[in-house]
Each structure stands twice: as structure tokens, then as C-alpha cells.
Structure 1
């Protein structure tokens, strides 16, 4: 079975999507539509913008989403048996399995980005990558530090934590004392996938509830519980809960493998997910579109 997977924020690079735009009339139409929906020339920033411009909140998430979705939709051979996305990538996955239309999903992604930015400004906070510790040890240490939680289960021995600036600094020291190979603060604007994103979750919930969702053509394995979902009400609920809950990527890939996934195809910028999939399941076949 073929599993198509979609990356999240951080995968962006200057020039992303230019090859698609130049080689496919269908892709060009999607980029032109995206410029119209967002009200600015995001294609120009994706193709020519600096790393700094691409890091702007209103740009980053829509840019990764557009590149990911268009790279999948322009393929005649695109017939997913299952889909999943890492954080933001879950919205791309939901377009790929026809739960959401391109326009509706892009509007949600844009609203999500701006809502997360506002939440970051309300609660100064950050994230850190913890390498070389078992998940349960990281969880135990987080439980001893006020305002710090496990945020991204990326692969075995690679977990990202989220919390207040002070809490993350304390937690990183404790992780090193416990034997972590690295405890590395990340250059992000806030504590994503933690309770500090509650204001953004409330904002996004209203937008999701007002958006039309259709029955998917294949299951989506969602970040919130790492399970396959085809029921629209469940998909909506989990998409809302995702903002304040951890990304269970390790568990999602394990479940997809258990359900018969053999080939994992990454759609979008970069190759981060291919590397994570290989670390989670060495026998998996990985590739990109």
C-alpha cells in the first residue's frame, strides 16, 4: 500500500515550487489561485524570496502547504491508499484525500498561521529538540517542569518539547543531566502543540466548523491520536485538538505500517519525513514526488 506523507513548517526553501510552476499549466493555475486567495504574490516570495521573507508567519505555512499539495495533485499517478501530514502537513493530507478543497484548506492554513502568531505574541515561549533519550524519560522530566510538555514525537530518541522560555531552559538542563545527546533550543516563535496555543485553537476551531468537509477517498492518520480516520466529524475534531496536543508522528508511521503501508512517498519541500520514516521503520521504502 502507498502512504503519501506531507511535511510541516521548516521545510521551506527559496525557489520552492518554481519547477512545478514552469512545467505544468495545472500547477501554474494553483499558484495563481493561491495568490488571489491570500491577497499577495506568495508565488514570487516562494520562487525568489530570501530565507528571512520565507520565515514570515503569513508566508511559511501557506508556502509549504501550496508546494506540498500542488506536487501531489499534478501527478496523474497520484492514487493514495492512506495519507498523513506532520503538523501543518495534515491540512495538505486532507486536500490529497479530498476531505478539503484547495481553496478552503489554504484559507484555513493562512488563518492557522496568523492565529498561532497571535498566540505566540500573547505568551512568549519556545521549543527544543531532545536527542538520544527514550520518550518516557523525556515525558517524566517534562512532568517535573511547570509549563513544559512533549510536543513532537518525531522518531525514536528524537522528541521536541514545548513551553515557556524559562521552562524550556530548565528542562534542557535536566535532559542533559539525564544523558541526552543534545538538548537544542529551536529558532521558533512559540510553544507549538502545547496548551499555550489555546487562543489559536479557539480561533481555528470556529474557522474549521464553518468550512465544508467532504468524505475522504482514503483514511488520514491524524497527529492527535495516530489513528486512521475517515469520519468527517472525527477528522474535524482531531484537526482542532492538534494545535494544543503533541504530534504523534512516530506512532502514526507505526500504525500505517501495521495497516499495510510499504511505500512512503513524501510530497512537498525537503526530505525530512523520509528520514524520520526510515528511523521509525527501517524496512520502509521511501521516496519523494
Structure 2
């Protein structure tokens, strides 16, 4: 199928919802398995084996490539049966996935971008770092609790829903303070303070790599990608890569991306995974949008049937 759907969008998840089932959808499909094999080669590790270890070892140093590989594989399986989306968006490392889906960039090059991003972030992450999800407090009040220089707001999901990154001891202290005031928080299974100024060196090095690799490369974009740092539409791959590098050390405004989806007339959203947290968030904030994740379905046919049915009804 190649027709364009003006009210359809694809979103790509971050690494926060990886599970042992993340690659199950792609493993039995040839096109999907081929993507996983390419990523496994670039990262010199069997991603099928790594995904099986998640429940035993918690944080996985290959979480980023697992998230990107699964999304790219799932899109490769589905895209010929679905209409062309109006736009793509990605949450955190999902922005790499979004550009991989929105362009015809070879899988090897997408995997290489993911490899460099992951490696640089691991290399420059301060020791004893982490991230904390927070819900039930506004940004002004949250900022009053932050210890400048040690912890920062990293992701803005909604008016009262954030992710904070930085020193893990400071995050635990913040969690205790918030809990005492009735605010929900949860320490995430992550050891890199992504999207905070603590990652500025990784951001700078990533920008150099991307500029050297793609500044003279013409990469056609089939549909706009929403930039993580501001939710704006972008079809310029070079600009998109600059934004991707900036996002390593700057906050992600997922709230803006969701608003762009709504303002653009999007009625149907498919989340490529891993997990389904983005679809849930979108329907909570914008209930007029029908959003589901491939994690809700057993087969590619089930996914395609749902999307086409929703588009017909819309």
C-alpha cells in the first residue's frame, strides 16, 4: 500500500519499556529478523540473546540498540501494508528510530547512528547517575526541589509529568521529599542522565560524528519527523541530526510533540514499541486520537487491520 494518510502518524518508543518479548514480533518475520541481525553485527552482540537477559540483569548496556532495532524491524514488517504516515515522532532514543523509519537510510547506517549515540552516552555519563519519573507536581514547584548542577528536568511529558536526570543519590533524596508531599515518583532502571547538561560532552561528540558523516549526504525524508527538543516538524535530515545530537544534553519536550500531532489533525497513531506507554499517554492527553501499540497485537495482520479500520472510521 502506498497511499498517503493525512490523519495517521507513527511514534517510536524509548528504551524504558523493554521486555523479554520486545523482539517477539519481529523474530518470526524475515524482514524483521534481518534488521535485528544487522544491528547485532554492528554492536558485536546477539540482540536476541541480550533481550532474554533483561529480566535477570535489569539495566542493559544494549538497551538503546534494542529499542531502535525493534522499532525499525517492526516498521519494515508493516510499512508495505500501511498507508504513508503524515509524520513520525520518537521519544528519546526513539528519535533515531523515527528518522530510520521516515527515510530510506540503509539499516547499517541507522544502526551506526544508534551505536555512536549509545557508546558516547555510556562513555561520558557521570558515575552514579540515573533518572526519576515524577507525576503530580507542576514544573515551577518541581524546579524548586532540584539541586542545580546535580539533577535536572530531562523530559516534559505533561504539565505535571516529568523525568528528572542526574546524580542517583540526589534523585533518591528528591523522591523522598516528593513522596512526603504526596507526589508520585519512580527511579528508572537507567544509568545515564540523558537530556541533561551533564551529557554536554557526549552531545558535542555526537554532533561532530553526525556532521562528519552526513553533512554532505542527501537523505530524502518521506514524511516529517517531530524534533524531540521542541516538537517541530522537520524534513531536513542534516537539521534533524543536529537536533538529535542536541537532545542528548537538552530536555525532551514530548508534550509539544503530542500537541503537534493533535494540531496537525492526526486521528490515528501506531506506536512501534517497545512497550505501549506512548500510545497510553497520547490517548490520556488527547482522547480524540486513537492510539495503540504493536505490543497490543499478536500478528502484523492484526495491526494492519486495526489501523485501516480506524482510518476508515475517521
- TM-score, length basis structure 2: 0.82
Counterpart position of 2:191: 189
Following the alignment from structure 1 to structure 2, what is the Cα–Cα distance between the partners of residues 61 and 146? 25
1:19 Cα deviation (Å)? 3.7
Following the alignment from structure 1 to structure 2, what is the Cα–Cα distance between the partners of residues 52 and 201? 31
Match of 1:131 among 117, 132, 135: 135
Contact 1:146 1:167 in 2 (8 A): no
Counterpart position of 1:70: 73
Contact 2:135 2:184 in 1 (8 A): yes
Match of 2:96 among 91, 104, 112: 91
Contact 2:59 2:190 in 1 (8 A): no
Contact 1:98 1:217 in 2 (8 A): yes
Counterpart position of 1:288: 293
Following the alignment from structure 2 to structure 1, what is the Cα–Cα distance between the partners of residues 168 and 49? 34
Contact 2:130 2:171 in 1 (8 A): yes
1:123 Cα deviation (Å)? 4.2
1:161 Cα deviation (Å)? 1.1
**Structure 1 residue matching 2:117: 3-state secondary structure:** helix
Over 3 Å counting, the alpha-carbon distance change for 1:210 and 1:3 in structure 2 is same
Over 3 Å counting, the alpha-carbon distance change for 1:125 and 1:146 in structure 2 is same
Query: Counterparts of 1:51-66 in structure 2 under 5 Å?
Result: 51-52=55-56, 55-57=59-61, 59-66=62-69
Contact 1:54 1:60 in 2 (8 A): no
Contact 2:25 2:74 in 1 (8 A): no
Whether 2:269 is the aligned partner of 1:267: answer no
Structure 2 gap ranges (5+): 1-6, 295-314
Contact 1:145 1:170 in 2 (8 A): no
Counterpart position of 1:206: 208
Following the alignment from structure 1 to structure 2, what is the Cα–Cα distance between the partners of residues 52 and 199? 32
Match of 1:227 among 211, 228, 232: 232
Counterpart position of 2:44: 39
1:110 Cα deviation (Å)? 1.7
1:99 Cα deviation (Å)? 6.2
Counterpart position of 2:158: 155
Contact 2:14 2:274 in 1 (8 A): no
Name the stretch that deviates more: 132-141 or 266-275.
132-141
1:171 Cα deviation (Å)? 3.8
**Structure 1 residue matching 2:269: 3-state secondary structure:** strand
Contact 1:129 1:186 in 2 (8 A): yes
1:71 Cα deviation (Å)? 0.6
Once the two structures are superposed, residues 43-86 of structure 1 have per-residue CA deviations (whole angstroms, 9 ceiling, x without a partner) of: 3333x3342457321x2111111111111111122422100000
Name the stretch that deviates more: 128-137 or 239-248.
128-137
Once the two structures are superposed, residues 122-166 of structure 1 have per-residue CA deviations (whole angstroms, 9 ceiling, x without a partner) of: 443222222111233223443x64432211112342111122235
Following the alignment from structure 2 to structure 1, what is the Cα–Cα distance between the partners of residues 58 and 173? 31
Following the alignment from structure 1 to structure 2, what is the Cα–Cα distance between the partners of residues 241 and 30? 27
Counterpart position of 1:109: 114
Contact 2:134 2:185 in 1 (8 A): yes
Counterpart position of 1:12: 18
Following the alignment from structure 2 to structure 1, what is the Cα–Cα distance between the partners of residues 287 and 264? 16
Root-mean-square deviation (CA, aligned residues, Å) is 2.2
Equivalent pairs, count: 283
1:13 Cα deviation (Å)? 1.1
